[in-house]
């Protein structure tokens, strides 16, 4: 539990380094880091699916620690599909900000963005899988490696913002939205897009991709 509390602080340095590459001011970086960390505790329900049977969820599942206390399960009569503020909304808004500020007069930038985003969405869609009691899971490093490598190869001058946008789009669209129907069908109490907050695939992918680029 102590390590879980310290992880946001340890990850903060990586976040600052990555956001600096996106040409953001110091005040904006601090505000974004705080918004991602604090927003990670806020889930906004968007849909409720009533079940004929109770479905369970483990409070520590999003951290990969569901085996620590096997009997610590919460039974729910419904599945709640939600959107996490820090794990989904904040990184998505930042990706839109970076998208608006890209130089679209340069054809190389446009092609690099399209290729990187499409490649990462496809990769995330292929490796993501639904797991009962958890939601959609995927290997952590697949998305940032695909996004950063494609951005560096296609447009090294604008690699960081392109990698960040592609890194966010991959897990959000490829892993979550394209598997939304499967999320509705699996037995899970809470299925939150970006639900792991600071350590969700959307945030990790965007930050690590930008850092590597």
For residue 15, CA distances in Å to 31, 36, 47, 93, 97 come to 12, 10, 31, 16, 17
What is the rounded distance in angstroms from the CA atom of residue 121 to the CA atom of residue 118?
5
Report percent pLDDT > 70 for the chain: 76
pLDDT digits (tens, 9 = 90+) for 102-142: 888 888 999 999 999 999 999 999 998 887 766 778 888 88
Torsion of CA 8, 12, 14, 20, to 10 degrees: 150
pLDDT digits (tens, 9 = 90+) for 51-62: 666 666 655 554
Strands 190-193 and 74-84, sheet pairing: parallel
pLDDT for 73: 56
Please, which residues bridge with residue 191 across strands?
81
Write down the domain spans for the chain.
2-212
Decide if 197 contacts 36 (C-beta within 8 A): yes
């Amino acid at each position: 539990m102590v390590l879980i509390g310290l992880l946001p602080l340890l990850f903060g340095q990586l976040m600052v380094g990555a956001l600096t590459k996106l040409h953001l001011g110091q005040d904006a970086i601090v505000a974004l880091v705080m918004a991602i960390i604090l927003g990670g505790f806020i889930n906004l329900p968007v849909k409720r699916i009533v079940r004929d049977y109770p479905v369970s969820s483990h409070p520590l599942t999003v951290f990969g620690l569901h085996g620590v206390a096997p009997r610590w399960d919460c039974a729910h009569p419904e599945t709640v599909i939600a959107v996490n503020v820090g794990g989904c909304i904040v990184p998505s808004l930042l990706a839109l900000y970076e998208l608006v500020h890209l130089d679209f007069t340069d054809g190389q930038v446009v092609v690099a963005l399209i290729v990187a985003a499409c490649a990462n969405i496809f990769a995330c869609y292929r490796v993501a899988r639904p797991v009962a009691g958890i939601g959609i899971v995927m290997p952590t490093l697949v998305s940032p490696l695909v996004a950063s490598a494609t951005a560096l190869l296609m447009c090294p001058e604008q690699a960081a913002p392109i990698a960040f946008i592609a890194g966010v789009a991959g897990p959000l669209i490829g892993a979550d939205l394209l598997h939304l129907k499967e999320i509705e069908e699996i037995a899970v109490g809470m299925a939150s897009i970006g639900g792991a907050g600071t350590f969700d695939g959307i945030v990790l992918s965007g930050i690590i991709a930008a850092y590597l680029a």
